[in-house]
Every structure is written in C-alpha cells, then in structure tokens.
C-alpha cells in the first residue's frame, strides 16, 4: 500500500478533528488525542496539598507520589461512588491532565514561530495572546462520566468545559458505552471493574439502558481492604505495610522472619499527612495485587467442591504459593490466601471480616453475580440473549489473575440457557483504558461530528442542553 | 570425491584432473555487500553462516521520489448534518477540497502562502462527506388537535402522555428497548384536577402498552392521510401490521421468552439430551425407510411369463444371466444372485436360485439339477434345491412326501447358518480333537477301521454315520483312558500298601521309636493336607483313609498326590470335552 495515499475516509469512517478525550475516574484521569490508541497523559485523580512559604500549594500528577513533601496531604475531588464532590479541584486536576502533556507549548506555523526569519517586534504580542488563551480553545472535548452521574453534575461539567476551558465543542459520553465501543460493539453488557466501583452497564445500540445500570463499591480499593484484613490475620505474624518512602535501607531476611530495615523518620512538624502514607501503602498493595493475588478461576466458588468432588480449597492449596517481598524486606509465600481476598466479589460469605476497616462489609446484593442478575432482569427480555452474548470486561481491576475465567464460569452457571460470551481485551492497556479508547474511536468518527454540543448551542440553550443531547 | 569418481567410472567419463577450484574461487570473490574486502578476507574460506546486513535507511521508493509532494493542511469544515454551523478543523489534502485542481506542474511549495487565502473558503462550500449518514426514521405525520379529538381519544392515555410518547419515539428513532427504558412520564399536576391525576401516575407503562398506543396512533394517522383503499401496497401492509398488534400476545411471548431464558442447568441439559434423541430417532427413521424400500425393491423380482424355450440351451442361459447382471448393476443394489459363487459358475444358475444351491451334492446330481433348471422355473415342480423356499416367490409350492424328500435330499433346517459349508469339511472337523494326541489316536482308530480321514463321498447319510462313528470312537478312547488310570492307581496303591506292610514289619522289629523323624513326617503331612483336600473330590474315599494312616516317605506321598491331581483334572477335562461334543 502506498504510504503517501491517505486511507479513504469511507474505509474506516474516520475524520479527525484533533479532539481531546478526557476519561475521568476515581483513581486516574486519562487524557489524550482522539484517534490515538492510548492516552498520552495518565495522572492520578488525587492531588496533594501542602503549605510552603506561607502559601497553600497544590501538587498534581505523578510528582506527588515521589516526594514526601512537608505536611503534604492527599485529597480526591471525586467521591467513593465516582461522582465529583469538589468541583473546583476536579476542574484543576482535569485541566492539569491535558495541559501538562497535550495542549501546552503549542507549536505554531514554522514560518511564524520565531525560529525562522521574523520581525523581532512582533514576537512579544503574539506570546501574550497565547498566554491569555484558555486551554482548549481549538480542541473539541469528549468527556466520560459514570452511567449514574446525576443531571446536576453533568451540567456542571459542560459549564466547566465551555466557560473555563473554552472548548468549541463538547460531548459527554457514558464510560460504559465507550468501553463497549472500544471492543467494537454497539450492544453489550459492560462489566467495569474500577478502583472504587464495579459497574454493570447494559448498552443497546450505543445507548445506556438506565434501568439496568448497577454499581457497587467492591472495586480495587475493596480488594485492598481485604488484603489489609488478611495481613492483620497473617499466620507467622501480622504484616504491617511500610511504604517505600519510609525505608532507608533493608537487609535480606528469610521468608517469614521479621524485617530488618532502617527506617526513615520525619519530625512531627514536617511529616506528611496520614493520607500520604495511605496513598503510598496503596501502591504497595497494587504491586501485591499485580504479583500475588489471584481469582479462583472456577468452576464453582472457592468454598464449594470442584467438578470432581474435591473441595476447591484443596485444589487451590495444591498449587504452589507465590512469594512477595514488602518494601521493608519482609517476605512470605502466600498460598491459598491469595485467592481469598478476591473471593468476596463473587461470594459474600467468603469476605475476610475486619471490624476496624473503614470499608463496610459487602452485602449479597453487591456481589458481581447479583449485580449482573439484577442488571439483566431490568432490561427487556428480547435483548437479554444479545447482552449475554456480548459481555465486555474492562477496568484495571479486572486484570486480577483468573478474573475473566471466573466471571465466565459464574455467568454460565447464572444463565445456563443462552450462549454467554465474555470478551475481554487481552492487552493490559486496552483493559485499563477501555473507555478512553472507546472515546478515542468515537471522537474521531466522521459521523460523530454532528453530535457535538457546540459553543453556540450551549450559549443558546444553557447547560441543560447536555441532558437533551448526551442521552 | 570417491563417490564422484565411481559415478564417472560408471558413466565412462574421463577422470577429472581438476575438480572445481575455479568455481569456488569465483564464489569467494563475490563478497556480500556492506562488508569491506579486508574484513571479508579475515573470515577465511569458510565464512560462518551469519547474514551480514547493513542497516541502511531505505528511503522512499524511487518511483515516489519523482512525484511531487502533495501537502496536507488543516482546513476548517462545516457539517451539513448540524444546524448551528459549527466549524471544526481537520487535515485535508491540499487540493482535494477545490473543485478544479490547479495544474500540477506550475505548483511549487513556495506558492503555499499565496494559496492559503484563496483556499480558505472553498472547502466550506463542499458538502461534508459524512452528512449523508444523518438519517432519521420515517414516522407518520403528527396529529393536530382536531384529529386527536376525533380519532385518537383514549381513556388510558391522556393527550399529554401521548405527546410524550410520540416525542420519545421520534427522539430514539423507534428503538423500543430504549424508549421503554427512558420512559418516565410524570403527569403535570397543575393541568389536571387532583382526582384524575392519581390513576395514570401509578401506572407502569410496559413496552407493549407503548407499542400498542403508538401503533394505533400511527395506523390512524396513516389511514387519515390515505384511506386504506388508496394506500400503496407497502403502506397497506404496514397499516395492517400496526393494526394487528396485540399487546397481550406480545406479553405472553415475552413471558415465554423469559421462561426459556431462565431455564436451570438441568433443564438445559435435558433439552439438549432430548434434542439429541430426536435427531437420532429421525435419522434412524430415515435409514429404516431406505432399508425398507431396498427390501421391497428386492422382493419385486420380475416373474417371467414369456416363452422359456430360448433358455433351454446353456448359451441361452448365460445370455439371460448377463442381462440380469446388467439390470442388477444399473439398479445399483446388491446382487440378487448373492455373493457366493453365482458369477463363477453361471451355467448352473437360474435367476431364482439362491447361493446355497448345490451344497454338498454330487456332481452328477448337480448336472441333473442344471438340466432340470429351466423346467423348474417354469413348472414349479421338481424342486430339488436346498434352501430354495427362502427366497423363491413362486406361486405354488408343492408339498413333497417324506420319501421324495429323502430322494431329492430336501432338508428342513430350523436355523439356517449364514455362508456356505461343505459337508466334507464338517466331517473333517470331527476328526480334529482338541489335543494333538487325541487327534492322532482318532486317526489311528480310523486307520484301524480302514476308513479314510477324508470321506470320499460325504452325503448326508454318510456324514451322519461318520459322526456317530467318531463319537463312539471318542467314548471308547475315553473309556480306555479311564481304565488305564484306574489300573495305574490300583498298582500304585498296592505298591504303597506293600511298602507300609514292610515298614510295619520293620517297626515291629525295632522297638525304639525315632522321635525327631516322626515329628518331621507329621509336619510334612500337614503340608500336604491342603493338596489332599483339593484332590479329595476326585479321589475315592478309601484313598483318603489310606493316606491318613501312612507315615514316612513324604516325598513319595507328595508325588503320588500330584499324580492324583493330574488324573482328576484330566478326567474332568475329558468329561467336559465329551459334554461339549455331545452338545454339538
């Protein structure tokens, strides 16, 4: 194929208008240009606040993970249910996500950018004009939202995009729909396992079926709380998580032996806030989840008997354990316990109880099978088989080892009649950024450009237009 | 090299003095690209098998280099599908937007700045390529107030709610799943006085309700626009379909669909099993039907009605056979002549004969049968074929008397075994006993009686007599064997008795008893007890009593026991064999 010829627009229906796609979540904000295959800018949603030189300072992005600044405290503008609580800060975080990587340092025409011959006196005025510009003045913006986002929040979002960022065109899409698009489906049952929430979104013809939408807080953070509960009850000794920034040096110890590390200490007045430590501990737990935690792949629950009559726990025990070394050098091999921390996503009785945990114990209705059952029961019977034949799994927490396999088994046992087909992207980034990729596809489609809410329409109809147009 | 020389010898070629150094050197000269001559020389004669490739930028294909670069530029466009004239920018080939492409040759990159101004407006005029995909569902015209009041009044649906439904239908392009999902009608409290408002507020509209209402409205509007008599065919069909919508039936269907969807695993399994069963049954039925058809077609053997004179000669007969064979082949079914030997000896066959013809008959009888065959076929008498009744669809079967049956060798089998057997074979089989020794004995007995092992003329009667003879020979042989056995036992027992008596005499002579020896003997007898009990069945009770008495000579006793045992097993084996034979 001749590389100098552009692909015919009809071949893929694409027409890129350099739109920016902003996929907001509880844990991370993903931003990038539409038409690309992964977001260019992925930053944590939380931000750090600290006092320096008599002034309150804010820190965004990956910076806050690295440095334990004096008295820094971590906040998240988004509530546990995925709805924005602190609009001012949410705006700042989101703005940082695209200005830091995508829209800053705009490149102008090489004939005018001062690198070539240009009158010296014109330069400063031009620079000033650019500085006054709002960040998104020439990029349409596609944003994502959870399917249960209230109308007020949607209106507030378009307000920010139109008035603060001055985007020429805006659209607000449900992240479930976008995830379905990312796997090439217009009708799908999207199972999104996020950090704070798991959500089931039935999508029909590119539109959310509101009555079927279900969500519960048993996401990645819940798994973390289960891991903490497990660590408290650990058999040789309870494990305390010491994050990396508190470790000065460590020495190698045998498995199960108490750690031998020298710790860094901070004086009380300069020490970071407890929330900073919680964030850092979460990083360790994330690593633990990636390396050790497994989902019992099924069939049947971990507590039940397998197909050949042997209890599944016995089977799980027979698999070799997985070692993990904590930042302080403590290390241990985790056996069957590594299955238990995820099991309560499917089986509420398997939850590891922890009365001290701030996370409330799950209820039966919050487990994944129940959510799916309710979601399916709330949509029309005619499309149920279609939904079950197009189950899309997305969200970073669905990358837990063996998760999709287990989900498949659970669905099979819930709905033995219809054909169940789970499609989960094999590539890690496709799973993590599922809804962003869907947004990238959507915003670069030629047929989509009639859907944008333009600045003119916004000014005509007000913020309410988002309810009418982004259905 | 030796192999090459051999080949040369064989082909008488002159011996080669100079093998092929020239060629080789040529190859060496040709060094791969991207490696210097000096470096290549260092590699020696046998370069390692490594691909030496230089990483080189390939650049554009030469063909493309000749073409002029066609620049892209960010150009604004409006979308015809939008009402607000939103201007977005996208990358476009520089001249694609313009209607008349400027002559290529004159264009240079330097001109770019000049052209920008002129092109700025042109792409805007062109219609946006994706605007054509903006299609809406075709919906009937919206009713007016007057029309609503006259045709569409309904107790269950207020005007407002109907409007709301029609709006939703338009908005979601008749996607009923979504319409039903988004349907949230709240009756306006201010417009309707309190009493009326409560009833519709509590109501939950199902998709069927909505569909029924919408279809009613749409059909009515269609009929208002065109009376049914003036409708086009498509419109009429549409109208009919909408009028015939039955919400109750639709609801029932959905209930059934839900039931079907919510089957338990057991039900699913059962259904799968039943389906499998059904498939099996239908396929069985198919094969049964085809088998039956084949059977029927086989039974429909043509009955000859014409003159049979032409079949009187053997030539005529073979001709008949040929035609029948051909007909057989063309029908593509199994030969009616059967698989056995019919084709090999066509002269002796008639169409009605089965494969079992002529089994064991003497050649002369066979010849007689052949001569008689044409007549048989015609006159239905003289039936001297064995097994003929099995497949002969002849009208009248003459009953033969016993004498005639004997004369013609007609037999009635209760059970006809498949395949052909020769009587001589069967007779031969009788002479083969299980053991070689026995066979030899039988053979010698037959030799003594001057009967050949292979019968000269194994007719039915001869075979029967032969069988009897063999049986009695067998009985005799067994009797002889038993007699021999008993004799030998008697001999042994007598010998042991004599021994015992001799011992007793000696013991009486020697007063002192030898204790250690006695105990040893006892132990040995204990050991043998198991064996003894095993043989007890066969051995006469007297023997057992005798053995209890005996002392000493352990070795001999055990040996004796072995003999006993063997004889017992042989006895039982023989009886088994004879039983079997009798059964046969």
CA dihedral of B90, B94, B98, B101, whole degrees rounded to 10: -160
Q: Decide if A416 and B268 are in contact by the 8 Å CB cutoff.
A: yes
Q: How far is B233 from chain A (nearest CA, A)?
A: 30
What's the token pair of residue B366? 């066979």
Instruction: Reply yes or no on whether the pLDDT at B548 is more than 90.
Output: no
The angle, 0 to 180 degrees and rounded to 10, between the axes of the packed helices B541-549 and B460-509 is 20
Measured CA to CA, the distance from residue A467 to residue B255 in angstroms comes to: 34
Architecture (CATH level 2) of domain A219-361? Alpha-Beta Complex (3.90)
Q: Are strands A73-75 and A47-52 parallel, antiparallel or unpaired?
A: antiparallel
- Which of A331-335, B81-85, B187-191, B309-313 ranks highest by mean pLDDT? A331-335
* CA diameter of chain A: 85
Residue B401 banded pLDDT, cuts 50, 70, 90: confident
| Closest CB from B84, B88, B176 relative to A17 | B88
Look at A449 and B85 and tell me if their CB atoms are within 8 Å: no
pLDDT, average across residues B343-348? 42
User: Which two structure tokens, joined as six digits, stand for A267?
Assistant: 């004086």
Taking the CB of residue B445, how many other CB atoms lie within 10 A of it?
Answer: 18
What gap in Å lies between CA B176 and CA A383, rounded to an integer? 11
Task: Report the pLDDT value the prediction gives residue B52, as an integer from 0 to 100.
Answer: 64
Find the mean pLDDT for residues B61-70: 73
CB atoms within 10 A of CB B213: 21
Q: Verify whether the Cβ–Cβ distance B181 to A2 is below 8 Å.
A: no
DSSP A108-126: --TTTSSSSS--GGGHHHH
Q: Does residue B108 carry a pLDDT above 50?
A: no
Name the pLDDT band for B153 (thresholds 50, 70, 90). Answer: confident
| pLDDT < 70 regions, chain A | 1-10, 104-133
Other C-beta atoms closer than 10 Å to the C-beta of B367 total: 12
Q: What is the pLDDT of residue B572?
A: 45
Summarize chain B as % helix, strand, coil (round to 5). 60, 0, 35
Dihedral sign for Cα atoms in the order B193, B196, B201, B206: negative
ipTM of the complex: 0.84
Rounded Cα distance, A448 and B516, in Å: 115
Residue with tokens 């977001």: A39
Q: Output the CA–CA distances (angstroms, integers) from residue A43 to A95, A132, B288, in the order listed.
A: 11, 25, 73
Minimum CA–CA partner of B265 in chain A:
A416
- CA atoms of B161 and B184, how far apart (whole Å): 10
Predicted pLDDT of residue B512: 52
Of B418 and B577, the structure prediction assigns the larger pLDDT to B418
Tell me whether residue B234 is exposed, middle or buried, using C-beta atoms within 10 angstroms of its C-beta: 0 to 12, 13 to 18, 19 or more.
Answer: exposed
Contact B89 A18 (CB under 8 A): yes
Kindly list the residues of chain B whose beta carbon comes within 8 Å of any beta carbon in chain A: 64, 67, 70, 79, 81-82, 84-91, 93, 113, 128-131, 133-134, 171-172, 175-178, 180-182, 207, 254, 257-258, 260-265, 267-268
Chain A residues touching B133 at Cβ < 8 A:
446-447
Report pLDDT digits (tens) over B441-488.
888 888 888 887 777 777 878 888 888 888 898 899 899 999 999 999
CATH 1.10.10.60 fits B133-188+202-262, yes or no: yes
Beta-carbon pairs below 8 A across chains A and B: 111
Average pLDDT over residues B496-515: 78
| Averaged pLDDT, B191-207 | 57
Average pLDDT estimate for B327-336: 64
Note the pLDDT of residue A460.
92
Q: Are strands A198-204 and A207-208 parallel, antiparallel or unpaired?
A: antiparallel
Buried b (16+ CB within 10 A) or exposed e, A54-66: eeeeebbbeebbe
Closest CB to B254 among A10, A381, A457: A381
φ, ψ for residue B365, nearest 5 deg: -60, -40
- Window from A94-108, A345-359, B359-373, B496-510 with minimum mean pLDDT: B359-373
CB contact under 8 A, B177 and A380: yes
Residues B204 and A197: their CA atoms lie apart, in Å, by 30
pLDDT confidence tier of residue B106, bands split at 50, 70 and 90: very low
For residue B387, how many other CB atoms are within 10 A of its CB? 18
Among the listed residues A408, A439, A400, A203, the one whose alpha carbon sits nearest the alpha carbon of residue A300: A408
List, in order, residues 6 or more apart from A33 with CB less than 8 Å away: A18, A19, A20, A21, A40, A102, A440
Q: How far is CA A143 from the centre of its chain?
A: 14
The pLDDT of B225-229, averaged and rounded, is: 80
């Amino acid at each position: 194929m001749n590389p100098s010829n552009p692909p015919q627009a009809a071949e893929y229906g694409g027409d890129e208008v350099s739109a920016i796609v902003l996929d907001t979540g509880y844990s991370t904000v993903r931003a990038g240009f539409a038409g690309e295959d992964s977001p260019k800018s992925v930053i944590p949603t939380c931000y750090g606040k600290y006092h320096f030189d008599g002034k309150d300072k804010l820190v965004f992005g990956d910076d806050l993970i690295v440095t334990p600044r004096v008295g820094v405290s971590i906040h998240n503008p988004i509530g546990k249910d995925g709805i924005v609580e602190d609009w001012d800060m949410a705006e700042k975080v989101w703005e940082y996500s695209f200005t830091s990587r995508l829209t800053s340092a705009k490149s102008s025409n090489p004939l005018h950018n001062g690198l070539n011959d240009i009158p010296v006196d014109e330069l400063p005025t031009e620079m000033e004009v650019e500085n006054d510009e709002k960040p998104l003045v020439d990029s349409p913006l596609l944003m994502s939202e959870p399917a249960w986002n209230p109308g007020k929040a949607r209106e507030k979002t378009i307000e920010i995009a139109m008035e603060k960022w001055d985007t020429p065109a805006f659209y607000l899409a449900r992240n479930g729909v976008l995830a379905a698009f990312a796997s090439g489906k217009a009708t799908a049952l999207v199972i999104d396992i996020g950090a704070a929430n798991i959500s089931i979104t039935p999508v029909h013809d590119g539109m959310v079926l509101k009555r079927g939408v279900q969500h519960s807080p048993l996401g990645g953070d819940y798994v973390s709380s289960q891991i903490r509960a497990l660590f408290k009850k650990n058999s040789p000794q309870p494990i305390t998580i010491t994050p990396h920034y508190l470790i000065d040096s460590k020495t190698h110890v045998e498995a199960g032996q108490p750690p031998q590390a020298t710790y860094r200490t901070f004086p009380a007045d300069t020490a970071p806030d407890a929330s900073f430590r919680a964030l850092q501990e979460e990083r360790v737990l994330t690593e633990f989840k990636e390396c050790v935690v497994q989902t019992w792949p099924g069939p049947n629950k971990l507590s039940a008997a397998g197909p050949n009559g042997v209890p599944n726990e016995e089977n799980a025990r027979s698999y070799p354990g997985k070692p993990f070394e904590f930042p302080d050098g403590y290390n241990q091999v985790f056996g069957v316990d590594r299955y238990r921390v995820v099991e309560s996503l499917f089986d509420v009785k398997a939850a590891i109880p922890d009365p001290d945990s701030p996370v409330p114990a799950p209820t039966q209705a919050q487990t994944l099978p129940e959510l799916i059952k309710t979601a399916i029961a709330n949509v029309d019977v005619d499309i149920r088989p279609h939904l079950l034949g197009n189950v899309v799994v997305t969200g970073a927490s669905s990358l837990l080892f063996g998760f999709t396999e287990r989900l498949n088994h659970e669905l099979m046992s819930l709905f033995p009649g219809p054909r169940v087909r789970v499609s989960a992207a094999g590539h890690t980034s496709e799973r993590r950024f599922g809804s962003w990729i869907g947004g990238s596809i959507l915003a670069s489609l030629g047929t989509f450009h009639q859907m944008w809410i333009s600045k003119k329409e916004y000014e005509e109809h007000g913020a309410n237009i988002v309810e009418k147009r982004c259905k | 090299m030796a192999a090459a020389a051999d080949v040369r010898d064989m082909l008488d070629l002159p011996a080669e003095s100079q093998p092929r150094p020239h060629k080789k050197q040529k190859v060496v000269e040709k060094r791969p690209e991207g490696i210097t001559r000096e470096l290549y020389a260092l590699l020696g004669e046998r370069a390692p098998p490594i691909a030496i490739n230089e990483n080189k930028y390939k650049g554009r294909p030469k063909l493309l280099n000749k073409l002029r670069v066609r620049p892209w530029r960010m150009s604004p466009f409006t979308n015809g599908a939008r009402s607000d004239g939103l201007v977005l920018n996208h990358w476009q080939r520089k001249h694609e937007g313009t209607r008349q492409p400027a002559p290529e040759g004159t264009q240079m990159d330097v001109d770019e700045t000049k052209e920008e101004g002129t092109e700025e407006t042109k792409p805007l005029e062109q219609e946006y390529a994706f605007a054509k995909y903006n299609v809406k569902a075709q919906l009937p015209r919206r009713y007016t107030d007057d029309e609503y009041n006259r045709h569409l009044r309904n107790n269950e649906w207020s005007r407002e709610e109907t409007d709301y439904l029609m709006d939703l239908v338009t908005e979601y392009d008749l996607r009923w799943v979504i319409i039903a999902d988004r349907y949230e009608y709240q009756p306006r409290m201010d417009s309707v006085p309190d009493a009326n408002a409560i009833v519709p507020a509590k109501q939950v509209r199902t998709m069927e309700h909505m569909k029924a209402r919408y279809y009613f409205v749409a059909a009515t509007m269609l009929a208002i626009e065109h009376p049914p008599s003036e409708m086009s065919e498509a419109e009429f069909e549409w109208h009919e379909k909408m009028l015939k919508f039955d919400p109750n039936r639709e609801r029932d269907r959905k209930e059934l669909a839900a039931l079907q969807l919510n089957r338990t695993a057991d039900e699913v399994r059962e259904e799968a099993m039943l389906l499998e069963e059904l498939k099996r049954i239908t396929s069985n039925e198919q094969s049964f039907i085809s088998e039956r058809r084949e059977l029927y077609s086989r039974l429909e053997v043509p009955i000859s009605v014409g003159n049979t004179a032409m079949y009187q000669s053997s030539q005529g007969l073979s001709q008949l056979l040929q035609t029948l064979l051909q007909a057989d082949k063309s029908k593509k079914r199994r030969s009616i002549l059967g698989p056995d030997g019919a084709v090999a000896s066509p002269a002796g066959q008639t169409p009605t004969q089965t494969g079992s013809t002529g089994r064991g008959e003497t050649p002369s009888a066979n010849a007689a049968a052949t001569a008689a065959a044409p007549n048989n076929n015609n006159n239905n008498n003289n039936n001297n074929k064995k097994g003929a009744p099995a497949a002969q669809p002849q009208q009248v079967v003459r009953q033969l008397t016993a004498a005639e049956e004997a004369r013609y060798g007609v037999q009635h089998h209760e059970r006809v075994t498949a395949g052909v057997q020769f009587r001589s074979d069967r007779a031969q089989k009788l002479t083969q006993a299980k053991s070689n020794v026995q066979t030899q004995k039988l053979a010698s007995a037959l030799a003594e009686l001057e009967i050949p092992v292979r019968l000269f003329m194994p007719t039915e009667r001869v075979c029967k007599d032969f069988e009897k003879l063999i049986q009695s020979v067998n009985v005799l042989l067994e009797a002889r064997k038993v007699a021999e056995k008993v004799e030998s036992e008697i001999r042994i027992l007598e010998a042991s008795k004599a021994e015992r008596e001799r011992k007793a005499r000696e013991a009486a002579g020697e007063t002192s008893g030898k204790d250690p020896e006695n105990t040893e003997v006892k132990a040995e007898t204990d050991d043998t007890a198991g064996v003894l009990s095993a043989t007890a069945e066969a051995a006469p009770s007297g023997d057992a009593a005798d053995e209890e008495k005996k002392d000493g000579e352990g070795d001999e006793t055990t040996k004796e026991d072995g003999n006993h045992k063997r004889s017992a097993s042989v006895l039982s084996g023989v009886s088994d064999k004879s039983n079997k034979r009798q059964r046969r």
